[in-house]
Structure 1
C-alpha cells in the first residue's frame, strides 16, 4: 500500500473554497478510482485554514493515475491562488493499518 499525506493551508477567508475543492476530488475518487483504497480529508479544529488529506493506493500505478487525473488538476487550479505556503506532501509505504 502506498500513501500520501498532504498538509494544505488556505489563505484566511478561503477555507470554504479549499474545503469544497477537496470535497470535489473526494467525489471524483469515490466515483472513478476503485484503486484508490481511501481518501480522507480533515480540517484542523485549532486553525480551520489547515487541511490534511490521507490517501491510500493499492500500488504506484493507482497513485499515478490519481495524481494525473483531471480532478487533481482542477483542484490545484483552484487551490494555488489561495494557498498560504507550500503544500507539504509525504509519500510513504504503509507499514500498518487498523481499520474498523
Structure 2
C-alpha cells in the first residue's frame, strides 16, 4: 500500500477556497477512483490555514491515475495562487494500519 501525506498552507483569507478545492478532489475520488483505498482531508484546529491530506493507494498505478487526473489538475489551478509556500509531500510505503 502506498501512502501520501501532504501539508498545504493557504494564504490568509483564502481558507474557504482551499477547503472547497480539496473537497472537490474528494468528490472526484469517491466517484472515480476505486483503487484509491482512502482519501482524507483535514483542517488544522489551531491554524485553519493549514490543511493536510492522507491518501492511500492500492499500488503505483492507482496513485499515478489520481495524480494525473483532471481533478488534481483543477485543484492546482485553484490552489497555486493561494498557496502560502510549497506543498510538503511525504510518499511512504504503509507498514501498518487499523481498518475501521
TM-score range, shorter chain: over 0.9
Instruction: Give 4+ residue runs of structure 1 displaced > 6 Å after superposition.
Output: none
Q: Secondary structure at the match of 2:39?
A: strand
- Cα distance in 1 for partners of 2:99, 2:19 equals 25
Match of 2:13 in 1: 13
Give the structure 1 partner of residue 90 of structure 2. Answer: 90
Structure 1 vs Structure 2 CA RMSD? 0.4
Q: How does 1:1-100 map to 2 (within 5 A)?
A: 1-100=1-100
Spell out, residue by residue over 1:46-86, the C-alpha distance to the aligned partner (whole angstroms, 9 max, x if none): 10000000000000000000000000000000000000000
Q: Gaps spanning 5+ residues in structure 2: where?
A: none
> What TM-score comes out, normalization by structure 2 length?
0.99
Gaps of 5+ in 1: none
Distance across 1 between alignment mates of 2:80 and 2:23: 16
CA distance in 2, matches of 1:30, 1:69: 13
Kindly tell me the number of residue pairs found equivalent between the two proteins. 100
3-state SS of 1:3 partner: strand
